[in-house]
Homo-oligomer: A and B are copies of this chain.
Amino acid sequence: MNLKIRSLSLIAIVASAAALSTGTQAQQAPKPEQLIKWRQSAYQVVGWNSGRIKASLDGTYNKEEVARAAGVIAALANAGLGSLFVPGTESGKGWHETAAKPELFQDGKRVGEAAANFSKEANELARVAVVGDLATIKDQYGKLSRTCKACHDDFRAKE
């Protein structure tokens, strides 16, 4: 899928998440604190699995370990994390105060591109983790890591 299509599908996901959230008002929409807790949890899980992949690639390579971890990251990259960054969650505390920068809620086009890059490289890593050789997997892990870093640089406040 090219970037444009992925951006469009991201928009569709965010739109459908918004529609869903409207549809579930009656069942109580999640509070901002809950949404922030979920997104902080999701990125913790990405970090856990990224660390597992790095440890395996740098140490004793375990194909199944890497494939399972890459599968988790790809599933989260495809999950529609954008639905956890809705208006009203620009500040506030989940597990801790949000580290999201204001730009994350303002520059939709650039956020969409960053999210699309993350999904693209995460899906490719999940694919090559199963069918690729070690050099290809290492190369792809590097590509994925750079999408993480780029997004952190742009949209996550320094600790």
A residues engaging B (CB < 8 A)?
A: 13, 16-17, 19-20, 23-24, 26-27, 30, 37-38, 40-42, 44-45, 48-49, 51-52, 55-56, 58-60, 62, 64-65, 68-69, 71-72, 74-76, 78-80, 84, 95
Contacts and interface: CB of A to CB of B under 8 A. Distances in A.
Contact of A13 (B20, B64, B75, B95): B64
Contacts of A62: 16, 19-20
A62 B83 CA distance: 14
* Count of this chain's copies in the oligomeric assembly: 2
Given A44-B37, A58-B27, A71 B78 contact: yes
Given A38-B44, A68-B75, A72-B79, 8 more contacts: A13-B68, A17-B65, A19-B60, A20-B56, A23-B55, A27-B59, A49-B79, A68-B79
A59 B23 CA distance: 7
A16 B71 contact: no
Contact of A72 (B37, B64, B68, B76): B76
